Structure 1
Amino acid sequence: MKGNDFLVFVYGTLRKGESNDALLQEAESLGFYETESEYTMFDLGYFPAVTPSGKTSISGELYRVDQQTAKNLDQLEGYPSYYDRIQITTPMGDAWIYVIHHLTEDYDEVEKGDWVKYCARKDAQGVRNGYRHRG
Protein backbone atom coordinates (compact mmCIF):
# COMPACT_ATOMS: atom_id res chain seq x y z
CA MET A 1 0.00 0.00 0.00
CA LYS A 2 1.32 3.44 -0.87
CA GLY A 3 1.92 5.86 1.98
CA ASN A 4 -1.01 8.07 0.96
CA ASP A 5 -3.49 5.26 0.34
CA PHE A 6 -6.30 4.19 2.67
CA LEU A 7 -8.45 1.10 2.97
CA VAL A 8 -12.16 1.80 3.15
CA PHE A 9 -15.03 -0.56 3.87
CA VAL A 10 -18.28 0.49 2.16
CA TYR A 11 -21.69 -1.02 2.89
CA GLY A 12 -24.37 1.15 1.26
CA THR A 13 -24.68 3.46 -1.72
CA LEU A 14 -20.95 3.19 -2.48
CA ARG A 15 -21.15 -0.55 -3.22
CA LYS A 16 -20.95 -1.74 -6.83
CA GLY A 17 -24.19 -1.10 -8.67
CA GLU A 18 -25.48 1.39 -6.10
CA SER A 19 -26.11 5.10 -6.59
CA ASN A 20 -22.70 6.46 -5.49
CA ASP A 21 -20.38 3.72 -6.78
CA ALA A 22 -18.89 6.13 -9.35
CA LEU A 23 -16.89 7.74 -6.52
CA LEU A 24 -14.88 4.51 -6.30
CA GLN A 25 -14.44 4.08 -10.05
CA GLU A 26 -10.68 4.71 -9.87
CA ALA A 27 -10.18 2.84 -6.58
CA GLU A 28 -8.76 -0.66 -6.33
CA SER A 29 -11.48 -3.13 -5.37
CA LEU A 30 -10.25 -5.67 -2.83
CA GLY A 31 -13.47 -7.67 -2.80
CA PHE A 32 -16.35 -8.56 -0.53
CA TYR A 33 -15.96 -8.48 3.23
CA GLU A 34 -18.24 -9.13 6.19
CA THR A 35 -17.43 -7.51 9.52
CA GLU A 36 -17.53 -9.08 12.93
CA SER A 37 -21.01 -9.15 14.54
CA GLU A 38 -20.53 -5.88 16.43
CA TYR A 39 -22.74 -3.37 14.60
CA THR A 40 -26.30 -2.37 13.77
CA MET A 41 -27.43 -1.08 10.36
CA PHE A 42 -30.43 1.21 9.98
CA ASP A 43 -32.50 2.20 6.96
CA LEU A 44 -32.51 6.01 6.70
CA GLY A 45 -34.61 5.99 3.54
CA TYR A 46 -32.27 6.43 0.60
CA PHE A 47 -29.16 5.20 2.38
CA PRO A 48 -28.13 3.18 5.43
CA ALA A 49 -26.29 4.10 8.59
CA VAL A 50 -24.26 1.81 10.82
CA THR A 51 -23.79 2.25 14.54
CA PRO A 52 -20.65 0.93 16.20
CA SER A 53 -22.62 -1.21 18.62
CA GLY A 54 -24.87 -4.18 18.19
CA LYS A 55 -24.78 -7.84 17.28
CA THR A 56 -24.95 -7.82 13.48
CA SER A 57 -22.22 -8.30 10.91
CA ILE A 58 -22.18 -5.80 8.05
CA SER A 59 -21.72 -6.93 4.45
CA GLY A 60 -19.81 -4.73 2.07
CA GLU A 61 -16.73 -4.20 -0.05
CA LEU A 62 -13.16 -3.19 0.64
CA TYR A 63 -11.35 -0.61 -1.48
CA ARG A 64 -7.88 0.89 -1.56
CA VAL A 65 -8.33 4.62 -2.19
CA ASP A 66 -5.97 7.52 -2.71
CA GLN A 67 -6.02 10.71 -0.65
CA GLN A 68 -8.30 12.61 -3.07
CA THR A 69 -10.84 9.79 -3.17
CA ALA A 70 -10.77 9.63 0.63
CA LYS A 71 -11.53 13.38 0.74
CA ASN A 72 -14.41 12.88 -1.71
CA LEU A 73 -15.80 10.07 0.45
CA ASP A 74 -15.53 12.26 3.56
CA GLN A 75 -17.50 14.97 1.76
CA LEU A 76 -20.21 12.53 0.63
CA GLU A 77 -20.54 11.07 4.11
CA GLY A 78 -20.61 14.46 5.83
CA TYR A 79 -17.53 13.61 7.88
CA PRO A 80 -17.05 14.61 10.65
CA SER A 81 -20.35 16.40 11.32
CA TYR A 82 -22.81 13.66 10.21
CA TYR A 83 -20.80 10.43 10.08
CA ASP A 84 -17.65 9.54 11.92
CA ARG A 85 -14.94 7.11 10.81
CA ILE A 86 -13.57 4.26 12.85
CA GLN A 87 -11.03 1.63 11.91
CA ILE A 88 -11.85 -2.04 11.65
CA THR A 89 -9.46 -4.92 11.19
CA THR A 90 -9.82 -6.83 7.93
CA PRO A 91 -7.72 -9.53 6.24
CA MET A 92 -6.27 -6.76 4.02
CA GLY A 93 -5.35 -4.51 6.95
CA ASP A 94 -7.08 -1.81 8.97
CA ALA A 95 -9.87 -0.08 7.04
CA TRP A 96 -12.09 2.93 7.67
CA ILE A 97 -15.82 2.42 8.08
CA TYR A 98 -18.24 5.32 8.32
CA VAL A 99 -20.51 5.10 11.37
CA ILE A 100 -23.17 7.26 12.91
CA HIS A 101 -23.08 7.54 16.68
CA HIS A 102 -26.49 9.03 17.40
CA LEU A 103 -29.73 8.69 15.51
CA THR A 104 -32.30 11.36 16.30
CA GLU A 105 -35.26 9.25 15.18
CA ASP A 106 -36.29 5.61 15.38
CA TYR A 107 -35.38 3.95 12.06
CA ASP A 108 -35.98 0.43 10.80
CA GLU A 109 -33.11 -1.96 11.39
CA VAL A 110 -31.56 -3.76 8.42
CA GLU A 111 -31.60 -7.05 10.27
CA LYS A 112 -29.02 -9.01 8.29
CA GLY A 113 -26.66 -6.06 7.73
CA ASP A 114 -26.64 -6.27 3.92
CA TRP A 115 -27.99 -3.09 2.30
CA VAL A 116 -27.96 -4.46 -1.26
CA LYS A 117 -29.97 -7.58 -0.39
CA TYR A 118 -32.28 -5.54 1.83
CA CYS A 119 -33.00 -3.10 -1.03
CA ALA A 120 -33.58 -5.97 -3.46
CA ARG A 121 -36.24 -7.36 -1.09
CA LYS A 122 -37.80 -3.90 -0.78
CA ASP A 123 -37.77 -3.52 -4.58
CA ALA A 124 -39.53 -6.85 -4.94
CA GLN A 125 -42.15 -5.63 -2.45
CA GLY A 126 -42.47 -2.31 -4.28
CA VAL A 127 -41.45 -0.19 -1.28
CA ARG A 128 -37.91 0.96 -2.03
CA ASN A 129 -37.03 4.66 -2.26
CA GLY A 130 -39.60 5.72 0.24
CA TYR A 131 -38.65 7.37 3.47
CA ARG A 132 -39.14 4.44 5.81
CA HIS A 133 -38.38 5.61 9.33
CA ARG A 134 -40.57 4.77 12.28
CA GLY A 135 -40.90 8.19 13.84
Structure 2
Amino acid sequence: MKHASTSTRVFVYGTLLGGEPNHRLLRGARLIGPARTQPRFTLYDYGPFPALASRGKHAVEGEVYEVDALMLAALDRLESHPRFYRRTPITLDDVGRVEAYLFPKERLAGRPIIESGCWRRHLQERKPW
Protein backbone atom coordinates (compact mmCIF):
# COMPACT_ATOMS: atom_id res chain seq x y z
CA MET A 1 0.00 0.00 0.00
CA LYS A 2 1.37 3.40 -0.98
CA HIS A 3 1.24 6.18 1.56
CA ALA A 4 -0.10 9.49 0.35
CA SER A 5 2.54 12.04 1.16
CA THR A 6 1.19 15.32 2.40
CA SER A 7 2.46 18.32 0.53
CA THR A 8 2.61 21.88 1.77
CA ARG A 9 2.96 25.06 -0.23
CA VAL A 10 5.63 27.37 1.16
CA PHE A 11 6.28 31.02 0.26
CA VAL A 12 10.01 31.83 0.25
CA TYR A 13 11.39 35.37 -0.03
CA GLY A 14 15.12 35.33 0.86
CA THR A 15 17.96 32.82 0.99
CA LEU A 16 15.64 29.98 -0.16
CA LEU A 17 14.87 31.68 -3.50
CA GLY A 18 16.22 30.08 -6.67
CA GLY A 19 19.91 30.95 -7.02
CA GLU A 20 20.29 31.96 -3.36
CA PRO A 21 22.49 30.11 -0.81
CA ASN A 22 19.84 27.92 0.87
CA HIS A 23 17.89 27.03 -2.29
CA ARG A 24 19.58 23.57 -2.25
CA LEU A 25 17.13 22.61 0.54
CA LEU A 26 14.34 22.89 -2.03
CA ARG A 27 15.97 20.50 -4.53
CA GLY A 28 13.19 18.23 -5.74
CA ALA A 29 10.39 20.56 -4.63
CA ARG A 30 7.84 21.62 -7.24
CA LEU A 31 8.03 25.31 -8.11
CA ILE A 32 4.50 26.67 -8.22
CA GLY A 33 5.78 30.04 -9.44
CA PRO A 34 6.65 33.60 -8.50
CA ALA A 35 4.33 35.19 -5.98
CA ARG A 36 3.72 38.40 -4.09
CA THR A 37 2.05 38.97 -0.75
CA GLN A 38 -0.76 41.39 -0.20
CA PRO A 39 0.55 44.80 0.99
CA ARG A 40 0.24 43.81 4.65
CA PHE A 41 3.84 42.89 5.48
CA THR A 42 7.25 44.45 6.10
CA LEU A 43 10.53 42.98 4.88
CA TYR A 44 13.54 43.76 7.07
CA ASP A 45 17.27 43.46 6.42
CA TYR A 46 18.61 41.14 9.11
CA GLY A 47 22.15 41.15 7.73
CA PRO A 48 22.81 37.94 5.76
CA PHE A 49 19.08 37.23 5.35
CA PRO A 50 15.73 39.02 5.35
CA ALA A 51 12.99 38.83 7.97
CA LEU A 52 9.29 39.04 7.07
CA ALA A 53 6.89 40.52 9.60
CA SER A 54 3.12 40.86 9.47
CA ARG A 55 1.13 44.03 10.13
CA GLY A 56 3.06 46.12 7.61
CA LYS A 57 2.21 47.98 4.41
CA HIS A 58 4.43 46.40 1.76
CA ALA A 59 3.86 43.65 -0.80
CA VAL A 60 6.77 41.20 -0.65
CA GLU A 61 8.07 39.28 -3.68
CA GLY A 62 9.01 35.63 -3.55
CA GLU A 63 8.38 32.15 -4.89
CA VAL A 64 6.01 29.37 -3.87
CA TYR A 65 7.15 25.75 -3.70
CA GLU A 66 5.26 22.58 -2.96
CA VAL A 67 7.26 20.51 -0.46
CA ASP A 68 6.78 17.14 1.22
CA ALA A 69 6.83 16.54 4.98
CA LEU A 70 10.57 15.75 5.08
CA MET A 71 11.47 18.91 3.19
CA LEU A 72 9.16 20.98 5.41
CA ALA A 73 10.95 19.56 8.48
CA ALA A 74 14.31 20.53 6.93
CA LEU A 75 13.02 24.08 6.30
CA ASP A 76 11.73 24.27 9.88
CA ARG A 77 15.23 23.33 11.11
CA LEU A 78 16.88 25.93 8.87
CA GLU A 79 14.52 28.65 10.10
CA SER A 80 14.63 27.42 13.74
CA HIS A 81 10.82 27.26 13.81
CA PRO A 82 9.27 28.16 16.23
CA ARG A 83 12.13 29.66 18.29
CA PHE A 84 13.53 32.08 15.67
CA TYR A 85 11.10 32.28 12.75
CA ARG A 86 7.51 31.13 13.13
CA ARG A 87 5.93 29.19 10.28
CA THR A 88 2.56 30.83 9.78
CA PRO A 89 -0.22 30.39 7.21
CA ILE A 90 -0.76 33.43 4.98
CA THR A 91 -2.97 33.96 1.92
CA LEU A 92 -1.57 34.95 -1.48
CA ASP A 93 -3.90 36.28 -4.18
CA ASP A 94 -2.96 33.84 -6.96
CA VAL A 95 -2.00 30.79 -4.90
CA GLY A 96 -4.29 30.81 -1.87
CA ARG A 97 -3.14 29.57 1.52
CA VAL A 98 0.60 28.95 1.95
CA GLU A 99 3.04 28.67 4.82
CA ALA A 100 5.55 31.49 5.34
CA TYR A 101 8.31 32.00 7.88
CA LEU A 102 7.49 35.18 9.79
CA PHE A 103 9.68 36.96 12.28
CA PRO A 104 8.34 38.46 15.53
CA LYS A 105 8.10 42.20 14.90
CA GLU A 106 9.23 43.07 18.43
CA ARG A 107 12.66 41.56 17.64
CA LEU A 108 13.12 43.76 14.56
CA ALA A 109 13.39 47.18 16.21
CA GLY A 110 16.11 49.24 14.56
CA ARG A 111 16.55 46.88 11.58
CA PRO A 112 16.43 48.54 8.14
CA ILE A 113 13.21 48.09 6.20
CA ILE A 114 13.48 46.85 2.61
CA GLU A 115 11.02 49.26 1.00
CA SER A 116 10.94 47.42 -2.36
CA GLY A 117 9.77 44.19 -0.67
CA CYS A 118 12.30 42.33 -2.85
CA TRP A 119 15.35 40.65 -1.27
CA ARG A 120 17.11 40.12 -4.63
CA ARG A 121 16.76 43.78 -5.62
CA HIS A 122 17.93 44.78 -2.15
CA LEU A 123 21.05 42.59 -2.47
CA GLN A 124 21.86 44.26 -5.80
CA GLU A 125 21.43 47.74 -4.30
CA ARG A 126 23.51 46.77 -1.25
CA LYS A 127 26.49 45.56 -3.31
CA PRO A 128 29.49 47.87 -3.23
CA TRP A 129 30.39 48.80 -6.81
Alignment TM-score, normalising by the size of structure 1: 0.87
Note if 1:64 corresponds to 2:66: yes
For each residue in 1:67-95, what CA deviation from the matched residue of structure 2 results, as whole angstroms up to 9, or x when unmatched? Answer: 00000000000100011111122333310
User: In structure 2, what is the Cα distance between the partners aligned to 1:58 and 1:74?
Assistant: 21
Ranges in structure 2 where 5+ consecutive residues have no aligned partner: none
Letter in 2 for 1:116: R
Letter in 2 for 1:6: T
For each residue in 1:46-104, what CA deviation from the matched residue of structure 2 results, as whole angstroms up to 9, or x when unmatched? Answer: 00001111100110000000000000000000100011111122333310010011315
Counterpart of 2:30 in structure 1 is 28
Alignment TM-score, normalising by the size of structure 2: 0.90
Contact 1:7 1:93 in 2 (8 A): no
Q: Which runs of 4+ in 1 moved over 4 A?
A: none
Identity score, percent: 34
Counterpart of 1:38 in structure 2 is 40
Note if 1:116 corresponds to 2:120: yes
For each residue in 1:22-68, what CA deviation from the matched residue of structure 2 results, as whole angstroms up to 9, or x when unmatched? Answer: 00111000110011000001101000001111100110000000000
Give aligned pairs, total. 124
| Alignment match of 1:107 (pick from 103, 106, 111) | 111
Q: 1:104 to 1:87 in 2, by over 3 A?
A: closer
Offset of residue 122 of structure 1: 1.1
User: In structure 2, what is the Cα distance between the partners aligned to 1:63 and 1:78?
Assistant: 19
Contact 2:5 2:69 in 1 (8 A): no
